[in-house]
Structure 1
Amino acid sequence: MLILTRKKGQSIIINNNVEIIISAIDGDQVKIGINAPLDVNVLRKEVYEAVQQNNKEAISPKPSLEDLNKLKSPQK
């Protein structure tokens, strides 16, 4: 892991086409701006992890028709 010190208004460049800019520092919060090509996905880590979990659940084995019929409520 690379750890850098930056001040408000300073930035770093990643892979020649992604710029991370420190736009504000307020107590323990740092606001950053990200300039990246449209084909580069930029997500907060918690959103990325939720998407990954949803993808795993989507490919998990589906219940059979028989299993679904067992869940069906009895008709009156």
Structure 2
Amino acid sequence: MLVLTRKPGERILIGDDIVVTFLESRGDSIRIGIDAPSGVKIQRDEIVQAVTEANRAAVEVDSSAEDRIKAALGYLPPTAG
């Protein structure tokens, strides 16, 4: 990880087409501006993590729900033997 110290108004260039500008510091947070092509995804990590967790929770099915779905669809388990 590259760690830099910047003053308000100073910029960081990433490649040829991404510019990160340090805007201001407020207490324990900072404000930055990011100029990037429209095809570049810029996402906050905590939002991506929250969506990932919500998606995982949405696909978890308890066994009783799975049994009810199978019964509704007429699923019969294979017989042993």
The Cα of 1:51 is off from its aligned counterpart by: 3.0
TM-score (norm 1): 0.68
Which of 58, 61, 66 in structure 1 is aligned with 2:70? 66
Q: Residue 4 of structure 1 corresponds to which residue in structure 2?
A: 4
- Deviation sequence 1:15-74 (CA, Å, 0-9, x none): 22111111111222110011111111111110122233345556767x4622679xxxxx
**Unmatched 5+ stretches in structure 1:** 70-76
- Bigger Cα Rg: 2
Residue identity in the other structure for 1:2: L
Q: Residue 19 of structure 1 corresponds to which residue in structure 2?
A: 19
Residue identity in the other structure for 1:18: I
**Unmatched 5+ stretches in structure 2:** 74-81
- CA spacing shift, 1:28–1:39, aligned 2, 3 Å: same
Residue identity in the other structure for 1:52: T
CA distance in 2, matches of 1:38, 1:22: 20
TM-score (norm 2): 0.64
Count of residues in Structure 1 that have an aligned counterpart in Structure 2? 68
1:31-46 to structure 2, matched below 5 A, reads: 31-46=31-46
CA distance in 2, matches of 1:37, 1:10: 20
Calculate the aligned-residue CA RMSD, in Å. 2.6
